[in-house]
């Protein structure tokens, strides 16, 4: 009997005639099925059963019953030894591996907390678009061809849509980037998403006005704010045309929208900002902006511009302020969705969740570097101060 791996499993017994040594009966099981045979000598109805002190006669029915019991026991043991299928998770990210590492690690640890351990009972296939347009569809299709069990999408609407176009059956779990998933047609509703998509939404568009308000509070002389955005990202366009103007009027601020359609546009945008200098910088999201966050941060520092961002990691890398969902907290529910789906729940039956906690992060090192003194009352309300 050989067990394990892809080996063919066989269990069998041969019964010999005690006097002549003839094979009378064979009963066995292999990975392809069961086989048996009874010799003509055995058909007489009497077989010899070896004992410690000689032989005794055993009728054919008893022999077959005993052999069948042995066969079934061996077959059950062989089946129990077969390796279980390890679920595979596809992880589709808009950024590069280095920028995505903190979020990916947080999700990995959250999964571990629910008993899903990488390399033991789950496997993950990582794919990174690295901020390059056009790669989303290619990478999503690649994960589908790998026959992953779930696709976790760490990116906004463009990335989620690419995954949706690649598969209508594999469950898709959103990590929380992007706009309202109902408004842009990713799910039917938050309570009843329908289809194969569920997960987390941060509804970041609702926070645009609050971010402007906090920037104004941090920089009391703020009057003109440049807004960097990618016009290919619908949520950013909505912020620039609908959300931010309303807040700006209430705060008596003048907005200076600056389109960034490619990485090559940044130098031209920076030159324009140097010529018509604003008092502050508001940087919206999207794969292109995230892929070039270091260039934007360096420009803001060199130009001594107070800046606010829609991603916490950007402030930890040198930006001045972040206000939004507590990202570390929001990654934990991703593990909940993956766990439920692996246990058989359909995405359509799992309501989309919104963040419950929001945070204000201020980088005091950056404030000192650009010569900005922030109101102590605002600092007292911050959830984290980077010193």
pLDDT tens for 280-310 read: 999 998 888 988 999 999 999 999 999 999 9
pLDDT tens for 194-248 read: 999 999 987 666 789 999 999 999 998 999 999 999 998 888 998 999 999 999 9
pLDDT tens for 120-134 read: 999 999 999 987 878
Highest mean pLDDT among 59-63, 140-144, 173-177, 326-330: 140-144
Sign of CA dihedral 66, 68, 69, 70: positive
Region 335-345: mean pLDDT is 97
Tokens of 200: 């987390």
- pTM for this entry: 0.71
Beta carbons of 139 and 155 less than 8 angstroms apart: no
pLDDT at 328: 75
Identify which of 34, 11, 14 has the alpha carbon closest to the alpha carbon of residue 24: 14
Q: Quote the mean pLDDT of the chain.
A: 83
Helix, strand, coil % in the chain, rounded to nearest 5: 40, 25, 35
Give the whole-number percent of the chain exceeding pLDDT 90.
60
Identify which of 261, 250, 274 has the alpha carbon closest to the alpha carbon of residue 228: 261
Beta carbons of 307 and 319 less than 8 angstroms apart: yes
pLDDT at 63: 56
Tokens of 72: 């079934």
DSSP string across 68-128: HHHHHHHHHHHHHTSPPPPPEEEEEESS-HHHHHHHHHHHHHHHHHTT--BTTTBEEEEEE
Q: Which residue has the higher pLDDT, 175 or 21?
A: 175
Give the integer Cα–Cα distance in Å for 43 and 25.
10
pLDDT at 227: 98
Give the integer Cα–Cα distance in Å for 344 and 36.
40
pLDDT tens for 55-92 read: 444 555 665 666 566 555 655 555 555 567 899 999 99
pLDDT at 176: 77
List domains and CATH numbers for the chain.
10-80 (no CATH), 88-203+328-349 (3.40.50.2300), 205-324+358-386 (3.40.50.2300)
pLDDT at 121: 95
pLDDT at 286: 84
DSSP string across 2-19: --STTPPPEEEEEEE-TT
Give the integer Cα–Cα distance in Å for 208 and 180.
13
Tokens of 189: 């509703």
* Residue 335 clears pLDDT 60, i.e. is over it: yes
């Amino acid at each position: 009997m050989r067990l394990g791996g892809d080996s063919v499993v066989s269990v069998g017994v041969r019964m010999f005639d005690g006097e002549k040594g003839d094979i009378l009966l064979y009963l066995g099981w292999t990975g392809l099925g069961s086989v048996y045979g009874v010799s003509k000598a055995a058909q007489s109805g009497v077989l010899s059963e070896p004992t410690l002190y000689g032989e005794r006669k055993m009728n054919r029915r008893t022999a077959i019953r005993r052999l069948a019991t042995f066969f079934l026991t061996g077959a059950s043991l062989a089946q129990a030894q077969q390796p279980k299928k390890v679920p595979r998770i596809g992880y589709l990210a808009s950024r590069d591996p280095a920028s995505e590492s903190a979020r990916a690690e947080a999700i990995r640890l959250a999964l571990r907390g629910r008993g899903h351990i990488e390399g033991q009972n789950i496997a993950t296939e990582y794919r990174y678009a690295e901020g390059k347009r056009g790669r989303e569809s290619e990478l999503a299709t690649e994960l589908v061809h790998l026959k992953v069990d779930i696709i976790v999408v760490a990116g906004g609407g463009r990335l989620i849509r690419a995954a949706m176009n690649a598969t209508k059956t594999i469950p898709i779990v959103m990590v929380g980037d992007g706009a309202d998933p109902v408004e842009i047609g990713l799910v039917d509703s938050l309570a009843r998403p329908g289809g194969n998509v569920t997960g987390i939404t941060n509804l970041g568009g609702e926070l645009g006005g609050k971010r402007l308000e906090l920037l104004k509070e941090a920089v009391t002389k703020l009057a003109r704010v440049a807004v960097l955005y990618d016009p290919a990202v619908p949520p950013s366009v909505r912020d620039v045309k609908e959300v931010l103007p309303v807040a700006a009027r209430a705060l008596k601020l003048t907005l200076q929208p600056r389109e960034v359609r490619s990485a090559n546009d940044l130098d031209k945008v920076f030159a324009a900002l140097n010529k018509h200098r604003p008092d502050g910088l508001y940087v919206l999201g999207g794969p292109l902006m995230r892929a070039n966050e270091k260039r934007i941060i360096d420009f803001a520092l060199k130009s001594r511009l107070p800046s606010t961002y829609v991603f916490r990691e950007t402030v930890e890398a040198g930006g001045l302020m972040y206000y939004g969902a507590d990202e570390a907290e929001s990654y934990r529910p991703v593990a909940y969705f993956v766990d439920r789906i692996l246990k058989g729940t359909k995405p359509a039956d799992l309501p989309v969740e919104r963040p419950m906690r929001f945070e204000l992060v201020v980088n005091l090192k950056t404030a000192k570097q650009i010569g900005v003194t922030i109101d102590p009352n605002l600092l007292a309300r911050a959830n984290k101060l980077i010193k």
